A and B are shown apart, each in its own frame.
Chain A
Amino acid sequence: MAENKGVMIVAEFLNGKLAAISKELLGAGSKLAKDLGEELSVVFIGEGIAGIAPEAIAQGADKVYVVDDVLLKEYLTDAYVAVAEKVIQQVNPRIVLAGQTTLGRDFTPRLAFRLNAAATMDCIDLSIEAGTKKLLMTKPVYGGNARAIFTSEVLPNVATVRVKAMTALAPDASRKGEVVTITAGLDAAAIRTNVLQKVVQEVQGIKLEDATVIVSGGRGMGGPEGFKQLASLAKLLRGAAGASRPPCDSGWVPETMQVGLTGKIVSPDVYIAVAISGSSQHLAGCGGSKNIIAINCDAEANIFKEARFGVVGDWKKVVPALETKLKELLGR
């Protein structure tokens, strides 16, 4: 078999554009491809997506492999894994990268094992070891308490990358790239799952992932009422409200508000953590915030170790007073 060469990104789309994670992957992939002296390609799997190819080229791709088929309109494990396997067999990349997203979490392990390779999930750093050309993959383990660096001799090296862990390149519309169409060649009978319904829980206002200010509450909020207070503060700061896992598990707030390892990964300028102890799994989701502000009645709470400013106190007293003063100072 020919030598494995190049870096391949598996793209995702949002509203007819490249998803933010795919731009981040292209940014990370460009650097790896440059260090290897090899090509950066991206595979598009979906329906009616060929028109997005120039965006991927502007973001750093040298080649776009487009697999466009009606059977690929929606993400289905069997269909996407089969198509990706086909493209990878044909192109023979050294490295395959996907996002640590709903799609990537499901798709990547099955793909890696189908290729008789192995995957490293949720990487936050990727680099090429000088001389050996080995891919070094760093990922948080033990809920974020530790990090591990992995390599694999088995090619292709497959990995998913945490959202917001990598930086996209500034788009360059003058970049040139090649678009290659590959047929899906899918057998509908081999697709064993079927999406009956997609339920979207609408959020009002700014999305957590896009917010520059987030006010999150934890178990110490004691019930749903306190979250109204946090929502009001978030609104004043033109931000979004989030939560640690227990309030979601208890049904105080929607599950989609969960920040953390298995919830949303956020990186706002200001993250106000109210009555949150600062577990490693929660910090995995908000540790990338520029400034964490902690409000907790326990002076020993771990969250203070991560915070820039902290107030020890009962949120019932601290949060209303904070809101009143901020209203005054910000003139809103």
Chain B
Amino acid sequence: MNIIVCVKQVPDPEAPPASFKIDSATNKVIPPPGVPPVISPFDEQAVEAALRVKDAKGGKITVISLGVNLLRDVVKKPLSMGADELILLEDPAYVDGDSWTTAYALAMAIKKIGQFDLIFCGRQAADTDAGQVGSAIAEILGIPSVTVARKIEVNESKVKVEKVTADGFDVIETSMPALITVSNELGEPRYATIKGIMAAKRKEPIIWKPADISADPAKLGAAGKRMAMLKLFQPVKEGKCEMVTGENEEDAAANLAKKLVEAKLLS
């Protein structure tokens, strides 16, 4: 099995909401001091999905990440979990685009890799929350896609995927090669092993510039994007919580009950 996983470096989405700040002049997020970026959590789950397939069927996992200022400690995490190779599309030409330009660059890199049975992506990145790149890669490569997976099982030339739905899940079968986006219902990603961390330290990522993947510069990054972001802003919060107290916690709870009934919130 040749497996490809696409991962994105994002600001830590679990950082406290109060630390989140925007520079309104540039429409960009100001990274909170002392909070390092992470691999988008669903992408880490995509790595886990790939590792489970590799555990069952054997094969090679190639991880691709697109961006600039990619911290090696961050983007090497999939290697320390057990992935085999890391390719970075690291160049200013790749960034400041949209889902489409990102998917185009990743698809061109995948074409260059050539051999693939399964491609895994996270269901959505924790910064843009768009959830489009996976489907777009599949569309560009002309392969089937199944999104929001919780379980993946490979049998011969087919792959069986449990897809999360609003009230349960669908079991979907498709041919390979296929692209699958992964959700947290898959389960916790494994921890890196000491052996994995040592191996990841020694392994240098391969860097591909636009020319290396024969990308059309007009279709990359800011030059190729179809969406324009006019404004990035933080919604204003009213923040007028009435703290209900009492002699002790039970008493506070009883006072809360009275307030809720008095305010006619419950009847």
Using CB atoms, name the residue of chain B closest to A297. Answer: B249
Q: Which of A253-273 contact B (CB under 8 A)?
A: 255-256, 261-262, 264, 269-270
Q: Judge whether A213 is part of the interface by a CB distance below 8 angstroms.
A: yes
Tell me if B132 and A261 are in contact (CB < 8 A): no
A-B contact count (CB 8 A): 251
Minimum CB–CB distance for B99 against chain A, Å: 7
| B3 contacts the other chain (CB 8 A) | no
Q: Is the CB of A113 within 8 A of B140?
A: yes
Per-position contact with A for B84-126: 1 when CB-CB < 8 Å, else 0?
0000000000000011100100000000000000000001101
The 8 Å CB contact of A278, one of B17, B144, B147, is: B17
Given contacts A141-B128, A311-B243, A329-B258, contact A322 B29 (CB under 8 A): no
CA distance A310 to B99 in the complex (A): 40
A52 beta carbon closer than 8 Å to chain B:
no
Asked if A118 and B99 sit within 8 Å, CB to CB, the answer is: yes
**Known contacts A113-B103, A313-B253, A326-B266: A270-B20 contact under CB 8 Å:** no
Interface: A176 (CB within 8 A): no
B237-266 residues at the A interface, CB under 8 angstroms: 237, 239-245, 248-254, 256-261, 265-266
A151 — which chain B residues lie within 8 A by C-beta?
A: 227-228, 230
Return chain A residues, CB-CB under 8 Å to B183: 262
In Å, the complex CA distance between A294 and B260 comes to 12
The complex places the Cα of A121 from the Cα of B100 at a distance, in Å, of 13
Q: Are B144 and A77 in contact (CB under 8 A)?
A: yes
Residues of B contacting A154 in the complex (Cβ-Cβ under 8 angstroms): 226
Q: What sequence of 0s and 1s flags, for each residue 167-202 of chain A, a beta carbon within 8 Å of any chain B beta carbon?
A: 000000000000000000000000011111111110
The answer, yes or no, to whether B194 is at the interface (CB within 8 Å) is: no
**Bound CA–CA A139/B227 (angstroms):** 13
Q: Is the interface of A mostly helix, strand, loop or mixed?
A: mixed
A264→B166 contact, CB < 8 A:
yes
- The reply on B22 being an interface residue by CB < 8 A is yes
Q: Which residues of A are found within 8 Å of B229, using beta-carbon distances? A: 148-150
What chain A residues lie within 8 Å of B156 (beta carbons)? none
Q: Say how far A232's CB is from chain B's closest CB, in angstroms.
A: 14
| A142-B29, A146-B232, A311-B256 as given contacts; A237 in contact with B100, CB under 8 Å | no
Q: Is the CB of B165 within 8 A of A102?
A: yes
**A92 sits at the interface (CB 8 A):** no
In contact, B265 and A193 (Cβ under 8 angstroms):
no
Task: Enumerate 5 A-B pairs (CB-CB under 8 Å) in ascending A order.
Answer: A109-B131, A194-B172, A196-B160, A321-B254, A326-B266
